[in-house]
Amino acid sequence: MKIEHVAIWVRDLEKMKSFYEQYFDGKSNDKYYNATKGFESYFITFEDGARLEVMRKTGVDHSPQINIT
């Protein structure tokens, strides 16, 4: 099995984009921004073809949540 795309919510979009570019040699696309929904994201592509989407949206609660069952 190959996972091609994973998405995560982040508080600081620019800082997280820079982190993955600097420490994992990721290459980012141009920022996607939807003003109506208050949503913005970057896709960061890595050498093996995997992509990470870092996302931010107005109103999303970023407090840590741990669910253990």
Q: From CA 46, how far away is CA 11, in angstroms rounded? A: 22
Write out the CATH class of domain 5-49.
alpha beta
8 A C-beta contact, residue 56 and residue 62: no
- Which sequence spans correspond to the domains of the chain? 5-49
DSSP code per residue over 7-34? EEE-S-HHHHHHHHHHHH--EE-PPEEE
8 A C-beta contact, residue 51 and residue 44: yes
Q: Which of 42, 38, 40, 35 is nearest to 58 (CA)?
A: 38
The tens digit of pLDDT for each residue in 15-48 reads 999 999 999 999 999 999 999 999 999 999 999 8
**51 or 1: which carries more pLDDT confidence?**
51
For the chain, give the percent of residues with pLDDT over 70. Answer: 87
